[in-house]
Amino acid sequence: AICLCAMLLSAGTAAAADAFAALNGAWTGKGSARFAEGGSEALSCTARYAGHGSNLTLLVRCASASAHIHLTSSLNSKGGVVSGGWSESAFGLSGMAQGSISGPRIALRISGGATGELTLTVAGDRHTLALKTESSALKGVDVSLIKR
């Protein structure tokens, strides 16, 4: 049982390192934002991810005709469990993020200034980011990015 647990922990750490390493670098793309009043707007975005091993920091900046989105996060992975802090400065949101990593997908539950989900998926030079909030003027962001 001890051997199996060590193998599972090692596999979770390796998956995080792979997904985190795949995200490293600069990205650019387009998407959309949804707002509490029911409207949505097209976004142009840039993203920068940095880190190694079990640590990852992210900075995503998006702009629409009337809004800016500045999402930052610092994440750590241990045994397949991902946790850290997050903030969105344009809407004044911040809190904690916790979730899991499975292959190329990082799925996080966010809490604090807003509750919801943040999902990052990477496949080669393409990456998607989906933010869904339940208690904020910003209801969601969906972005498709390409590595620069």
Q: What is the pLDDT of residues 113-129, one digit of tens each?
A: 899 999 999 999 999 99
CA 52-53-56 angle, to 5 degrees, is 55
116: left (phi over 0), alpha (psi -120 to 50) or beta: left
- Of the pLDDT bands very low, low, confident and very high (cuts 50, 70, 90), residue 99 is very high
- Of the pLDDT bands very low, low, confident and very high (cuts 50, 70, 90), residue 63 is very high
Compute how many other C-beta atoms are within 10 angstroms of the C-beta atom of residue 8.
12
Residues 96 and 109 sit within 8 Å (Cβ to Cβ)? no
